[in-house]
Amino acid sequence: MLSAKDNELITRVGPGTPMGDLMRQYWVPACLSSELPKPDGDPLRVLLLGERLVAFRDTEGRVGLMPHQCPHKKASLFYGRNEEGGLRCVFHGWKFDVAGRCMDMPNEPPERGFKDKLRAKAYPCVERAGLVWTYMGPRETPPPMPALEVFDANPRDTTLMAYQVECNWLQAFENDLDITHFGFLHGGHSEAEQLPEGSALRELMRDRAPRYEVLDTAAGVMSGSYRTMPGGTMKSWYLQNYLFPFFGQTGVGIGIGEKVASGWTQKAAGITMKVPMDDTHTMAFVIASGLAATTEDGSREFYNDEMWRSLPLRPNTTDWLGRFRWIDGEHNDYGIDRDKQRSRVTFTGLSNVILEDTCMSESMDPIVDRTDEHLGVADLFHIRIRQRLIAAAKALADHGAVPPGVDNPDGYLIRPGFLELPADLTIVDAAETLRVGDGGAHMPELAPKPWAREDA
């Protein structure tokens, strides 16, 4: 459990809050590149870290992101004209480029030079892996982008999806990185014998109460859940990663860099991002990379293509909360089919695994009260993530300490995975297997022994 004070600290993300200030130290995803499909196209409302912003793509294809209110008299730039290299407020014609420079001020005498003295607040943007990333922090020169593998992946081997979760970011994020829920919420209707021999999914179902170790890494925390295999000489490890501030790496059922029994391969570690829109709404961006297989006729299919490409979402609208919302939700009990639940067609009666996660996250109330939780050893990963987040936010607020990973992009060169190792090896040995390149091998915070509950 957390104290009320720490729960408040870790969940609030607006400007000037400890967690909001921490998140602003990093590059964060703002929107899909495809939401700004063409130069001089329609502006886009973006709610991000509690700030109401407007995004636009200028005549040259550059992306701008700035507070939606014009610096003049605070009319919304969402209604502006995106034309000739900038966004023009329709109230008095003031026009701003992607860097916030005032390009035109037609209702002011030019001899005053007022135009050249004014600069609107604007956040720098870059585009990577189909997303617009922005830096909202205090540095004049932003830190480096994290060295995520998906930035270098072949676009034809990647799938990008977005969906909104109507609750606080932390509970949505933690529920993604909860390995044992898979054996119940998503797979409680299945038995291990029904799944491919040697696959991670079979191991997850064979023993639904594994043992755990967690390990601090340069940019976050690694979790290892392990099961002793028949014969006792080997353990199967399933490893996940938390990466500051809200990145998660999972890979249920997928081997790392090799073919597994299900026939799927993974060329690079995908990434899940649970980005706070405000304190009670979260935008999930998911990039699956290299999850592809070659079919008998030689064509390629994406892993679970129908789910990843055809989520049951409402058409987007232009309001602040109008992007990537589920058709089903609390208003209709998430479309639950009790007959399918009773007959064990699925464990939940819900239509897909991502909606199952969303339902559980939103059902916890908009912000979870963690003062009366009852956590067990299966929650070791979440306990350590919270500890690191709270410690980093307090260190930044009290001493100006740079949070983990901000100036160490190579700390993000690590993968999740499903491994089989000799029974006497630990998560430290498994971590060595999952680093990517020389950069990922240098982790000064890598502990010589796993962190355990008694160390808290």
In tens, the pLDDT along 347-385 reads: 888 888 889 999 999 999 999 999 999 988 888 899 999
Residues contacting residue 399 through CB under 8 Å, at least 6 positions apart: none
Q: Does 5 reside within a domain?
A: no
163 and 69, same structural domain? no
Domain holding 128: CATH number?
2.102.10.10
Q: How many domains does one find in the chain?
A: 2
Residue that is last in its domain, among 83, 113, 135: 135
Q: Does 225 reside within a domain?
A: yes
Beta carbons of 49 and 23 less than 8 angstroms apart: yes
Average pLDDT over residues 226-246: 88
pLDDT reading at 396 higher than 60: yes
Confidence (pTM): 0.88
254 and 280, same structural domain? yes
Q: Which domain holds residue 166?
A: 149-455
Residue that is last in its domain, among 79, 100, 135: 135
249 and 333, same structural domain? yes
How far is CA 73 from its chain centroid?
Answer: 35
Please tell me the distance from the alpha carbon of residue 347 to that of residue 256, in angstroms, as a whole number.
28
Q: What is the pLDDT of residues 403-433, one digit of tens each?
A: 999 999 999 988 887 777 888 888 877 777 7
331 and 220, same structural domain? yes
Beta carbons of 74 and 67 less than 8 angstroms apart: no
161 and 111, same structural domain? no
Q: What is the pLDDT of residues 56-102, one digit of tens each?
A: 999 999 999 999 999 999 999 999 999 999 999 999 999 999 999 99
Please tell me the distance from the alpha carbon of residue 147 to that of residue 437, in angstroms, as a whole number.
11
Q: Does 7 reside within a domain?
A: no
Q: Does 300 reside within a domain?
A: yes
Q: What is the DSSP string of 18-39?
A: HHHHHHTTSEEEEEEGGGS-ST
